[in-house]
């Protein structure tokens, strides 16, 4: 049983399609560009794979992905494109979107053949199997749907977590595809140029589930907000009481609300299903690292919604327009 008292509900798998897209990104200029912005130690497997593939940087498939990245196509969009292919053979499993580069699936197959990726990933199988075991350990007692459904109602999609030992090595990818909410995430970053922590390192054991919970919450919240633009427009007429550091990081009302909501979702889970100590540690880190001094107040306001749902408020959308006012009150009254 999970910490919530119900069966664990996050499935872990290694996905060849996601791994192929990560390999294409490894052969592109993306890793070097990110290192200039945020220096960090990548996984040893990522470094050796990039070294093995750098000679293929001029291959059409790599150049097409490079072009999409430079045109500001999101990594989520690129990984979703990869999921249109069949695992291992990389034939289209369904029609590719109209914006997909010409002959892209064939170019991916050529890239895989020239890079001997089948042989490479077989040789490196142990590191991927280790990552899956570590994540199975992380999620063996974690059930996230019970908390998510308190805010969003029944969730029909399956929750999936895919390890990424390649690139991007500094951030997770969150997407929804064919009945699955998917989190594709690297191991937690260490300090400086040190290699990342293992997924289930005792000091980082909650890192992956935090990525997953906040990511799934973001997908569900975006879907909800997209369904009611008039509610969002009405709510955004009232400024949220956030500090300048937070406002500069998230300029729009929607981005501010989404970040507050998803971060507070993690805090709620930690407090209710893990421990008060983990909750307090998480809140302190968010306050110090990201200036989220309003996080305890946000948690309080979200608990207020849960208490009044089905009475004063039927859905989270009904609560949206009163959220700013309640958060201003909570900011003055609630501290860690």
pLDDT, position 332: 79
Query: How far does CA 122 lie from the centroid of its chain?
Result: 27
pLDDT, position 9: 94
How many CB atoms are located within 10 Å of the residue 14 CB?
18
CB burial class (10 A; 0-12, 13-18, 19+) of residue 218? Answer: middle
- Which strands make up the sheet holding 10-12, listed edge to edge? 10-12, 158-163, 180-185, 173-177
Helix (H, G, I), strand (E, B) or coil at 202: coil
pLDDT, position 143: 94
Q: How far apart are CA 16 and CA 208, in angstroms?
A: 20
Q: How far apart are CA 256 and CA 161, in angstroms?
A: 25
Helix (H, G, I), strand (E, B) or coil at 223: helix
DSSP state of 56: G
With CA atoms as reference, report the closest residue to 104 among 122, 118, 87, 84: 84
pLDDT, position 173: 97
CA neighbours within 13 Å on the CB side: how many for 222?
12
The one-digit pLDDT tens for each residue of the chain (336 residues) are: 666 677 899 999 999 999 999 999 999 999 999 999 888 989 999 999 999 999 999 999 999 999 999 999 999 999 999 999 999 899 999 999 999 999 999 999 999 999 999 999 999 999 999 999 999 999 998 999 999 999 999 999 999 999 999 999 999 999 999 999 999 999 999 887 888 999 999 888 889 999 999 999 999 999 999 999 999 999 999 999 999 999 999 999 999 999 999 999 999 999 999 999 999 999 999 998 888 899 999 999 999 999 999 888 889 999 999 999 999 998 877 665
pLDDT, position 334: 67
Q: How far apart are CA 54 and CA 62, in angstroms?
A: 10
């Amino acid at each position: 049983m999970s910490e919530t008292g119900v069966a664990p509900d996050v499935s872990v798998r290694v996905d060849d399609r996601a791994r192929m897209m990560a390999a294409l990104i490894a052969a592109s200029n993306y890793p070097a560009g990110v290192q200039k912005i945020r220096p960090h130690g990548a996984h040893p497997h990522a470094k050796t794979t990039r070294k093995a593939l750098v000679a293929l940087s001029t291959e059409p498939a790599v150049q097409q992905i490079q072009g999409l990245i430079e045109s500001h196509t999101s990594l989520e969009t690129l990984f979703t494109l990869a999921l249109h292919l069949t695992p291992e053979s990389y034939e289209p499993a369904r029609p590719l979107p109209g914006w997909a580069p010409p002959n892209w699936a064939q170019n991916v197959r050529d890239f895989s053949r020239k890079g001997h990726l089948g042989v490479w990933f077989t040789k490196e199988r142990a590191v991927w199997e280790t990552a899956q075991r570590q994540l199975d350990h992380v999620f063996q007692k974690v059930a996230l749907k019970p908390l998510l459904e308190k805010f969003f109602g029944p969730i029909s999609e399956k929750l999936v977590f895919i390890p990424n030992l390649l690139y991007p090595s500094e951030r997770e990818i969150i997407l929804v595809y064919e009945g699955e909410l998917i989190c594709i995430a690297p191991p937690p970053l260490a300090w400086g140029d040190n290699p990342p922590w293992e997924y289930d390192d005792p000091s980082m054991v909650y890192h992956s589930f935090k990525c997953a919970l906040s990511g799934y919450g973001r997908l569900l919240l975006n879907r909800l907000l997209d369904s009611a633009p008039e509610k969002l427009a009405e709510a955004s007429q009232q400024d949220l009481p956030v500090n300048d550091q937070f406002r500069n990081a998230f300029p729009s009302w929607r981005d501010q609300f989404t970040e507050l909501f998803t971060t507070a979702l993690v805090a709620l889970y930690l407090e209710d299903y893990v421990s008060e100590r983990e909750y307090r540690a998480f809140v302190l880190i968010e306050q110090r690292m990201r200036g989220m001094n309003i996080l305890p107040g946000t948690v309080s306001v979200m608990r207020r919604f849960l208490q009044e749902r089905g009475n004063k408020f039927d859905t989270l959308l009904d609560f949206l327009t009163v959220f700013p006012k309640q958060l201003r009150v909570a900011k003055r009254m609630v501290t860690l």
